[in-house]
């Protein structure tokens, strides 16, 4: 069971020390629109304050979308929640098997075949070789890459690689799914198919945290949102409210419309007995 799954952070900070920064131009800390604040730590080293004072608590069933400007700290937060980054100060405690889905290319080897990469990538995400062997045919079907799967990965286009990675990612059973949207490289037809699979993956997982610039995608996969601004949680709440505050009424109305449509589809599906 997944009842033990949880994420807690308390006053967590993540700083990146930049030892080769041009210090003369950095006398004063500044806050542009994009990016975390630049300051200095106790040893007078220039640091990017990517996350500041993050306190959050997530439990089984939570589906949280992260919104915010470029460099606001969304990816850093996902890495903190996955245990890839330790907090510089404060604490982060994660209970459950984490599947980080950030860089779809990580864990792939260009010199081995698509088939072999499917196995390796799955093992990288915490599956056993045996579990992956049982899934490989179904994943191969999903990618629609046919004979190419016997060829080394270096012969694939970017979109073809993304197909392999998405096939693997959507076949696993994670307790905590941390998803960074970086999956724009596939064609529209394939994306439609991938979204359906991603939705099923999200339904199987215990906790989802999803960073995305697509409000439609957020509304589809999440039921609440956090606005990350200059490394801090500026607002947390329903997706419509958070998007409205972050992007304005037009975007808020659009999200409301998308949610309504999704609910209509869901109730139509259950009336037909297909849900």
Ligand X SMILES: Nc1ncnc2c1ncn2[C@@H]1O[C@H](COP(=O)(O)OP(=O)(O)OP(=O)(O)O)[C@@H](O)[C@H]1O
List binders of ligand X among 109-148 (CB under 6 A).
none
Q: Work out the burial of residue 45: count CB atoms within 10 Å of its CB; fewer than 13 is exposed, 13-18 middle, 19 or more buried.
A: middle
In this structure, the number of other CB atoms found within 10 A of the CB of residue 23 comes to 12
Give yes or no for residue 73 binding ligand X (CB under 6 A): yes
- Interface pattern 199-238 for ligand X (x via CB under 6 A): ------------x---------------------------
Helix ranges, 173-214 (H): 188-204
Q: Which of 7, 46, 71, 215 binds ligand X (CB under 6 A)?
A: 71
Q: Which of 52, 74, 121, 244 binds ligand X (CB under 6 A)?
A: 74
Looking at the Cβ atoms of 63 and 79, the one nearer to ligand X is 79
Distance CA 108, CA 181 (A): 18
Determine the angle formed by the axes of helices 114-124 and 129-143, rounding to 10 degrees.
Answer: 130
Give yes or no for residue 65 binding ligand X (CB under 6 A): no
Q: Applying CB under 6 A, which part among 57-65, 70-78, 110-118, 234-242 lies near ligand X? A: 70-78
Looking at the Cβ atoms of 63 and 74, the one nearer to ligand X is 74
Size of the site for ligand X (CB under 6 A): 14
84 closest CA partner among 72, 98, 96: 98
82 closest CA partner among 91, 72, 94, 71: 94
- Binding residues (CB under 6 A) for ligand X: these are 16, 35-36, 48, 50, 68, 70-76, 211
């Amino acid at each position: 069971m997944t009842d033990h799954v949880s994420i807690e952070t308390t006053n967590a900070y993540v700083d990146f020390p930049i030892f080769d920064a041009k210090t003369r131009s950095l006398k004063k800390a500044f806050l542009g629109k994009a990016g975390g604040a630049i300051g200095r730590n106790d040893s007078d080293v220039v640091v990017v304050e990517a996350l500041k004072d993050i306190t959050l608590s997530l439990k089984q069933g939570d589906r949280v979308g992260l919104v915010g400007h470029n460099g606001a700290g969304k990816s850093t937060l996902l890495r903190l929640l996955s245990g890839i980054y330790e907090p510089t100060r404060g604490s982060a405690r994660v209970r459950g098997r984490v599947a980080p889905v950030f860089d779809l290319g990580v864990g792939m080897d260009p010199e081995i075949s698509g088939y072999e990469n499917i196995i390796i990538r799955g093992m990288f995400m915490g599956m056993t070789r045996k579990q992956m062997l049982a899934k490989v045919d179904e994943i191969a079907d999903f990618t629609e890459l046919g004979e190419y799967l016997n060829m080394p990965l270096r012969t694939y286009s970017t979109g073809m690689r993304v197909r392999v990675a998405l096939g693997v990612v959507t076949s696993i059973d994670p307790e905590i799914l941390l998803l960074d949207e970086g999956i724009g490289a596939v064609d529209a037809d394939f994306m439609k198919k991938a979204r359906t699979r991603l939705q099923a993956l999200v339904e199987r997982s215990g906790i989802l945290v999803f960073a995305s610039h697509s409000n439609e995608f957020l509304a589809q996969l999440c039921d609440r949102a956090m606005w990350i601004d200059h490394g801090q949680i500026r607002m947390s709440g329903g997706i419509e409210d958070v998007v409205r505050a972050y992007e304005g009424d037009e975007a808020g109305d659009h999200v409301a419309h998308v949610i309504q449509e999704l609910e209509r589809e869901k109730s139509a599906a259950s009336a037909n007995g297909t849900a």
